[in-house]
Structure formats: structure tokens, C-alpha cells
Amino acid sequence: MKTVSPSELAGLMTSDGLYAVFDVRERGEFNVGQLLNSTSLPRSQIEFRIAELVPNRNVTIVVYDEGGERAALAVQTLTECGYHSVSVLDGGLDAWRQQGWAVVSGVNVPSKAFGERVQHERRIPEITPEELQRLKEAAADLVILDVRTPEEYARFCIPAGVNVPGGDVILWAEELRQRPEKTVVVNCAGRTRSIIGTAALRRLGLENVRALRNGTMGWVLAGFDLESKPGRQSPSISAVSRVKATALGLRLAAEEGIPQLSAEALKRIIAEKDNGVIYLIDVRSEEEHQTGHLPGSLNVPGGQAVQRADDFIAVRNARIIFISNEAARAVMAAYWYRQMGFRDARVLSGGLAAWRRDGGPVATGPEKNEPLGLDEARQAVRLVTPSDASTLLKRASLVTLDVGSSLEYETAHLPGAKWISRGWLELQLPDYVSDLAQAVLISCPDGNHSVFAARALARRGYNNVYVLDGGVQAWIAAGLPTESGLAACLTETNDLVLSPSIKGNKEDMQRYLDWELKLRV
């Protein structure tokens, strides 16, 4: 196993080469402390995400944990997945700290720090929740644009807010320009997307736009109620505004020197599969993406692409091609990425429409990214049907494990199943099941994580392991009963980091907002 020292890694991270740095601990551990510009890739997600995160298997990859055994296990998985240049940070995060290199906390730190910098440097105007409430009570002429995802908006929103996902604001620019007397308020859950959405509209020439300070969390902290489960559909965008958006995109690209790539040139680049790393990022909505897209493109609506850049762009110095219908939204995304320091962010000229005209292949439906090595792993384990699993559960001595996410386990799991993170499975299960001949039944929502977990246990000598084929979904489809709750967890449930806006705890909200503000320093 190859290792790199903290100083060697620090040097790599300032180079112009292609490399990726992955934190393979749980998401909650990553949230507490991580290397700046590393990407969170928990062990349990490697087979499922690595192909899209690192599309070229010759790229240099460095993985780290706290200095324990998980990084070495991650190297084994990555090697089996076909990656040729994988190393471990010697001593892990602990050694990095001891050498005096910076450690940051939180998730999506690069994007959020960038948002705070934009707010500070561009003096983005804000409106407080109290000011907005006064305008609402005075029946002022205003529109509240909620730039969160449709899924977030469907839970709750600022009363009367309309959902315009952040990447779509360029499509609305002309329509809003026609009403200069209207006050436009942009909000998200916290700060970043509100700031970027407001800054985008102002960059496009609108002056009557303000960001809602601290978003829905600030609204709640000010003592105001959110509207629960709004039933409003996003209003349609006029044809005139859409046409104008294309012109605005072309103008912005010219003014900012954003490179555009023709469909013909992109075809040549895609054909050179081993030449560097290219990310194809489709910034349209999920519905639009499924009606037709470039094969292999990753669907990340524009607001999320900016908000969570480190979650999707793992290889530094890679080429990034943004795609939308006719390039307007793609230009906006490329503009922000170049501002963030992604020097080779480009746009497919003319968007998907131009790609179609040039005869480029188009796929429909969701991209099907099967986990790497799943077929081989299935052949190495003992699969059982829900009916057979139900019979196994009647054994008093059977140990039943669930290796899905803790949230999925909390929602529904097999009767008597105990939850354990797949990232810790081989390292911590022996503390609870020391007998290698013990009968073990493993499940997860769809059965895929279970297959990899069972193979890992077999390699550790466990010789009586069963996998519920099709997982809890197949179990439920068979009409069999489930349990819910987090009463039986063998490892800490820190595999997920939920937004304070979802959890609804005001103290958590305030801590989160304070953390975001400190990123400006």
C-alpha cells in the first residue's frame, strides 16, 4: 500500500495536475473536521459513486481517515474497482493536524465560503425577515423567489414564496426587469444560495433584488411561521424571457471570457477517453434531463452545482462542461465555477439543442450507474428470497443486520435487525459477533449494499452469511412486516448530516448560521 506524507499531499494539492483527495470516514465525521478541498466519499459509497467522481482510472487518488484502518480498506476497494494510482495519507487527519496544516469543519465548505466572499466583496443587499414581514403586511409589490430545490420547497417555504430553483434565475431575468417597481427577494434555507441567486440577477442588470438574510432559518429564528407543504406550482416563464435569457447568456459569456465548446469539438473530446478528466454537468431540472440528455452527463441543477461543488467535482484541474437547453443556464453555472477557481469550466455552445442538430446521441430516463463490481460480488454471496429470509428469522440465534443509511433504517427495517454502518462493518462487528460460524442475515433498502457487506464479511472468515435479495423493498413488496426506529444501532448514526432547517431545532439553526458567517474570514 502506497502512502504519502502530509507535506507531500500539501504539495500535490497546490499542483496543476489531476488528482482527487477523498475523506472515507462517515459524513458526520467529515462535518466535524476535514482537509479543505477534499471530497467526502464514505467507504460505503465507493462502489456507487467513484465512477462518476473519477471517470479516468489513471488519476492520482489519495484517501484518508483519522489515521485508522478504514483508509487501507478503501484502497483495497478502489483497486478492485480498477483504479491504478491510489495512496493513503500517512497518519491520516491526525498527522495532517500535527504538521500544522489547516483543517476546516462543515459540509460544502468551499462553496459556502465562496458565497460569503461574494456577499462581502460585492456588497449584496439583504433584507431582514422583519423588513420582509412589514412589506408583506403593507401589501407591497414584491415577489419572493425560493431558490431551493423543488424537494426542499415542497416541505415548507416563506409564505407566498414561489419556487425558482437557483440555476433557473437567468430565465426569469427579463420578466423581472419589466417590473422595476417590484421588490424581488431571494431566499434559500440559509445563506449561500440566496446570496448567489441575488448576485446572479444583479450581474444580469437587475437592481431591485435583495437576499433574505439567513433564509428560512432566519425567518424561523425571527419568530415567523413557515408555510407548510405549499401546493403552488412554479409559474411558467414567458417565451420572451426565455429568448432573452439566451441573449443574456451569450453576452455574459463574451464579457467574462467563458469558453464555449461546439458539439463537434465535444464529440472529439469524449472520444479521447483516456485523455484527462471531463465532467459533463447538465444543470437543468431532473424532469428536463430525463426527457433527453447527453449520455453519461451528470444531472446537477445549477443552484446545487454551485452550492455543492465539492460533492460532484472531485478531480481538481479537470475540464468541466456545463450543459442546458440552449446554454443560458449553463453559462451562469460556468460563470460561478470560474469565479470559484475552476479554471477550465466551459459551456456546450448552443446547449442540448445544438447537440441534437449536430446528430449527437441523446439518452432518456435516469442515468443508470450500476455500482462497480456488483455482479462479481453477487456471485460471491448467498442470496435468499424474502420467503426464505422470513424462515431464517424464526431462528432464535440468527443475527440480522441492516447496512443501509441510518435514515432508511429508521424508516423501515426487518424485524429485529440491528443497524451498522458498512464503513465500520469488518472493524466493529467482531465486537458483537465473534463466532465466525454465526448465522447472519444482511439487508439494506435495495439489496446492493448488503451484497458488498456480505462479501466483506466472507473475506474476514464469516462463513454463514445470507443476503436478502432485493432488500427491504422486496421484503415489503412480499407483504412482510417491518419495524421502524433507531433503537438497535451497533455504530454511531453519524453517516448523514441533515440540514438544521429540516431538523427544526433553533439552536442548531443559529449555530449553523454563525458557522457560515465565520467562513467569510
Antiparallel, parallel or unpaired: β 156-157 and 227-228: antiparallel
Q: Chain-centre distance of CA 233, in angstroms?
A: 25
Whose CA is closest to 381, among 330, 447, 296? 447
User: Could you report the per-residue pLDDT of 401-432, keeping only the tens digit for each?
Assistant: 999 999 999 999 999 999 999 999 999 999 99
pLDDT attached to residue 274: 67
Antiparallel, parallel or unpaired: β 19-23 and 39-40: parallel
| Domains along the sequence of the chain with CATH | 2-106 (3.40.250.10), 113-237 (3.40.250.10), 243-357 (3.40.250.10), 377-477 (3.40.250.10)
Alpha helices in 166-262 (DSSP H): 169-177, 192-203, 215-221, 239-256
pLDDT attached to residue 126: 98
User: Could you report the per-residue pLDDT of 1-52, keeping only the tens digit for each?
Assistant: 899 999 999 999 999 999 999 999 999 999 999 999 999 999 999 999 999 9
pLDDT attached to residue 73: 97
User: Kindly report the CA angle at 501 between 500 and 502, in degrees rounded to 5?
Assistant: 90
pLDDT attached to residue 272: 83
pLDDT attached to residue 504: 80
Side chain identity, residue 297? S
Distance, CA of 186 to CA of 161 (rounded, Å):
9
Q: What parts of the chain have a pLDDT lower than 70?
A: 273-274, 521
CB 381 within 8 A of CB 458: yes
Distance, CA of 492 to CA of 483 (rounded, Å):
19
Whose CA is closest to 353, among 319, 328, 387? 328
Whose CA is closest to 62, among 38, 29, 34? 38
- For 249-297, strand residue ranges (E) read 260-261, 278-282
